[in-house]
């Protein structure tokens, strides 16, 4: 009888602990925070932005984010790190981006492909990536 009671207790406890898992998954990534575009890289050469050009990504620790640009566009997205220095962004408007990235000091460089010849350079804006 004690064995059955112990087994039932174990089953109940394991079910209780599994059901207490958070749907909120915290990310601990160097991408967290807000990044403002400061230049572009074309064919391996870096160029300043055109007057009025603006682009910004904010990565929150719950796997969501917000994209903004100079036209007032604001689009939410879900993001996932896919291996070493790769990020996938699934935007609310249906667009998906799969980018390679690297860091140089407080700068984030996003590349369209692994050749790293064409990309966008972002400066850390110092805002928290904590989702409240």
Q: Do 77 and 63 contact (CB within 8 A), yes or no?
A: no
Domain positions in the chain are 26-124
- pLDDT at position 132 is 46
DSSP string, 49-63: PPTT--EEEEE-TTS
What is the torsional sign of CA 92, 31, 117, 40?
positive
Structure tokens at 17: 């602990």
- pLDDT at position 131 is 56
Task: Tell me the pLDDT band of 20, cut-offs 50, 70 and 90.
Answer: very low
Q: Does domain 26-124 have CATH number 2.60.40.1180?
A: no
Task: Give 24-66 pLDDT, tens digit per residue.
Answer: 455 678 999 999 999 999 998 899 988 888 999 999 999 999 9
Task: Tell me the pLDDT band of 16, cut-offs 50, 70 and 90.
Answer: very low
Task: Tell me the pLDDT band of 76, cut-offs 50, 70 and 90.
Answer: very high
Judge whether residue 111 has pLDDT over 70: yes
Q: Do 116 and 100 contact (CB within 8 A), yes or no?
A: yes
């Amino acid at each position: 009888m004690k064995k059955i009671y112990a087994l039932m207790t174990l089953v109940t406890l394991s079910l209780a602990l599994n059901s207490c898992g958070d749907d909120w998954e915290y990310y601990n990534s160097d991408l967290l925070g807000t990044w403002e575009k400061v230049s572009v890289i074309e064919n391996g050469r870096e160029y300043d932005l055109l007057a009025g050009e603006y682009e910004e990504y904010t990565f929150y620790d719950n796997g969501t984010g917000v994209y903004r640009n100079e036209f007032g566009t604001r689009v939410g997205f879900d993001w996932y790190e896919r291996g070493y220095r790769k990020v996938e962004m699934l935007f609310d408007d249906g667009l998906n981006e799969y980018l390679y990235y690297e860091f140089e000091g407080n700068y984030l460089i996003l590349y369209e492909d692994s050749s790293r010849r064409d990309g966008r350079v972002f400066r850390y804006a110092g805002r928290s990536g904590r989702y409240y």
